[in-house]
């Protein structure tokens, strides 16, 4: 138990009390607390049998109303992989990952079932898209947990959505199916690094949402994180200048000061969804 508390302190910068009873699941919890960012992989391939096993674990995850709207697309074709990697030149590590998967939201199957069973579909609104997106995200998260338990490393690729239409066409995604994120998977070439997180006091709420002293908590986190893993460069210096101190909050403020993925709503509508 002591090592779990040590990992929590390393990740969040605070010491928690030990729970009364944690006889089961310690190894799983330890793996989650020690999750690392992995973007460097060995040349050892990840065979299809392993990927299918991990998909089975991932698809055993919770799903909204048993609708099972999270799907997995394994990009095995080398030419297709190269085309997807070419869309993301600022992420060269992705091309070197032994396996690439796309996690999908699939609201198409539910609509097909309604048609097959001659039932109406009055739920053509935002919640249909949202439910499928959440299911796809849960499947991906569970896949990552299973993969790390097997000794693999993973890194999600949200920038797949920067090219959602191109990726959809390349992978033959029909109406009401869309990419939630990609995932690079492989055997780690190094231990990776633990990314410090905001303090739990900023993100865990009891009974009601509480942002008391949130700015102070974020400022303290900026300083703590800078002492562990400082940013190597500052975003968009030509536009914003060079900050005397450059922490997480400055980086994220700059990141979202530029329009990004503004066409995703149009893509989602193009896949048939109504978002009202």
Quote helix, strand, coil % in the chain, to nearest 5: 45, 10, 40
Dist CA 205 CA 11 (whole Å): 18
CB atoms within 10 A of CB 63: 16
Identify the three-state secondary structure at position 70.
Answer: strand
Dist CA 141 CA 254 (whole Å): 27
Dist CA 250 CA 32 (whole Å): 27
Q: Residue 25's pLDDT is what?
A: 81
Tokens 């997807």 belong to: 84
257: phi then psi, degrees, rounded to nearest 5: -85, -5
Contacts of 211 (CB under 8 A, 6+ apart): 202
Nearest CA among 44, 54, 79 for reference residue 183: 54
Q: What's CA 201's distance to the chain center, in Å?
A: 22
Contact 264, 164 (CB under 8 A): yes
Contacts of 164 (CB under 8 A, 6+ apart): 178, 179, 264, 267
Q: What's CA 35's distance to the chain center, in Å?
A: 13
Q: What is the DSSP string of 184-220?
A: EEE-BSS--BPPP---HHHH--SSS---TTHHHHHHH
Domain range summary for the chain, segments of one domain joined by +: 1-34, 36-192, 198-261
Per-residue pLDDT of the chain (276 residues; tens, 9 = 90+): 788 999 999 999 999 988 877 777 888 999 999 999 999 999 999 999 999 999 999 999 999 999 999 999 999 999 999 999 999 998 999 999 999 999 999 999 999 999 999 999 999 999 999 999 999 999 999 999 999 999 999 999 999 999 999 999 999 999 999 999 999 999 999 999 899 999 999 999 999 999 999 999 999 999 999 999 999 999 999 999 999 999 999 999 999 999 999 999 999 999 999 999
Dist CA 250 CA 109 (whole Å): 42
CATH superfamily of 36-192: NADH Oxidase (3.40.109.10)
């Amino acid at each position: 138990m002591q090592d779990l508390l040590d990992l929590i302190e390393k990740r969040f910068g605070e010491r928690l009390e030990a729970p009364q009873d944690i006889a089961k699941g310690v190894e799983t919890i330890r793996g989650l607390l020690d999750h690392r960012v992995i973007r460097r992989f060995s040349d050892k391939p990840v065979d299809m049998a392993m990927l299918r096993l991990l998909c089975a674990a991932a698809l055993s995850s919770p799903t909204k109303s048993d609708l099972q709207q999270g799907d997995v697309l394994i990009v095995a074709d080398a030419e297709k992989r190269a085309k997807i990697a070419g869309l993301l030149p600022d992420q060269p590590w992705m091309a070197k990952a032994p396996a690439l998967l796309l996690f999908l939201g699939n609201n198409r199957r539910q609509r097909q079932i309604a048609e097959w069973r001659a039932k109406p579909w009055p739920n053509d609104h935002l919640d249909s898209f949202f439910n499928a997106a959440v299911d796809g995200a849960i499947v991906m998260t569970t896949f990552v947990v299973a993969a790390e338990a097997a000794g693999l490393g993973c890194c999600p690729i949200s920038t797949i959505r920067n090219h959602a239409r191109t990726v959809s066409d390349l992978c033959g995604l029909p109406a009401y199916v869309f990419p939630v994120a990609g995932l690079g998977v492989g055997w780690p070439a190094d231990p990776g690094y633990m990314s410090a997180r905001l303090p739990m006091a900023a993100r865990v709420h009891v009974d009601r949402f509480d942002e008391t002293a949130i700015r102070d908590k974020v400022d303290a986190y900026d300083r703590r994180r800078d002492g562990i893993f400082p940013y190597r460069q500052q975003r968009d210096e030509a536009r914003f200048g060079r900050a005397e101190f450059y922490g997480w909050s400055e980086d994220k403020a700059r990141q979202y000061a530029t329009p990004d993925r503004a066409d995703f709503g149009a893509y989602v509508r193009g896949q048939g969804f109504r978002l009202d």
